[in-house]
Amino acid sequence: MPNAKVLSEKQAVVAALTEQLKNASSGVLVDYKGITVAEDTALRTELRQNEVQYGVVKNTLVRFALNNVGLEGLDDVLNGTTSLATSAGDPIAPMRVVNKYVKQLNGKFEIKGGFMDGKVISLEEIQALAELPSKEVLQAQALGMMLAPITSLAIVLKAIAEKNGEPAEAEASAAE
């Protein structure tokens, strides 16, 4: 049995991981075997830019934390090297960034499993979600679709005003 100091340190780590998982809207467990320091640094930089928490975790400690938040379905993937990427903000960010590196690093970096909104999701769902554009891009696309009819209406109204051959600005200045 470990001494009291080691046990309390491990309990603190499990408590911190549990808190991180409770606050996370989504997360991904990754097998990072074989990546170089440069690749890991680039990955961590991009994750930080997307406000994703990332770290290497011990399987037993993360298993306790996952069980504490009701994600027992991920127990079977906790073997070998494991790292955890979670996000409290954009739920797609960890999946998108990790999936990008899975494609770049061909076999050195693999997704083991993931969760979203307190539910375990399959690898296919993770990959499908990873292909979605970022929240900001989706908002810009939606805004563009809403502005298109308004822009068309403005063009039609201007054409009607210019029907007599005079620009609409000239009519407005003549009326004054």
Give the structural domain span for 114.
Answer: 4-132
Residue 52 sits in the same domain as residue 73: yes
Measure the CA angle with vertex 90, ends 54 and 110; round to 5°: 45
Residue 64 sits in the same domain as residue 115: yes
**Contact between 84 and 29 (Cβ < 8 Å):** yes
CATH number for the domain harbouring residue 107: 3.30.70.1730
**Contact between 65 and 18 (Cβ < 8 Å):** yes
Number of domains observed in the structure of the chain? 2
Residue 82 sits in the same domain as residue 50: yes
Digit-coded pLDDT (tens) for 62-77? 888 888 888 888 888 8
Q: Which residue has the tokens 């209406």?
A: 153
Residue 59 sits in the same domain as residue 39: yes
Residue 57 sits in the same domain as residue 70: yes
Rounded to an integer, the average pLDDT of 98-118 is 84
Rounded to an integer, the average pLDDT of 89-113 is 85
Q: What is the pLDDT of residue 117?
A: 83
